[in-house]
Amino acid sequence: MKTETRISPQKQSRERGGAGVKLAIVLVVLFLVGHAGYNYIPVAYQCAEYKEKMSEVVMQAYAMPNTPLNSLENVKAKLRKFGAENGVPANAIIKVDKLSEGAMRAHVTFIKQVDILPFGIYRYDYNFNHTAQPTGFLTK
CB atoms near residue 57 (< 10 Å): 23
State which residues form the domain around 31: 16-139
pLDDT over threshold 80, residue 74: yes
Residue 1: inside a domain: no
Residue 106: inside a domain: yes
- Strand spans (E) along the chain: 93-98, 104-115, 123-132
Residue 44: inside a domain: yes
Residue 3: inside a domain: no
**Beta-strand pair 93-98/123-132:** unpaired
* Whole-structure pTM value: 0.79
68: confidence class by pLDDT, cuts 50, 70, 90: confident
62: confidence class by pLDDT, cuts 50, 70, 90: confident
Per-residue pLDDT tens for 93-138?
999 998 877 788 999 999 999 999 999 899 999 999 999 998 876 5
Backbone dihedral region for residue 53 (phi beyond 0: left; psi -120 to 50: alpha; all else: beta): alpha
Q: Contact at 8 Å (CB) between 102 and 70?
A: no
Residue 71: the pLDDT is 83
Per-residue pLDDT tens for 12-25?
556 666 788 899 99
Residue 118: inside a domain: yes
Residue 15: the pLDDT is 60
Residue 119: inside a domain: yes
Residue 120: inside a domain: yes
CA atoms within 13 Å, Cβ hemisphere of 72: 10
For residue 31, with 0-12 CB atoms within 10 Å meaning exposed, 13-18 middle and 19 or more buried, which class applies?
Answer: exposed
Report the Cα–Cα distance between both ends of the chain, in Å, rounded: 93
Residue 94: inside a domain: yes
Residue 10: the pLDDT is 58
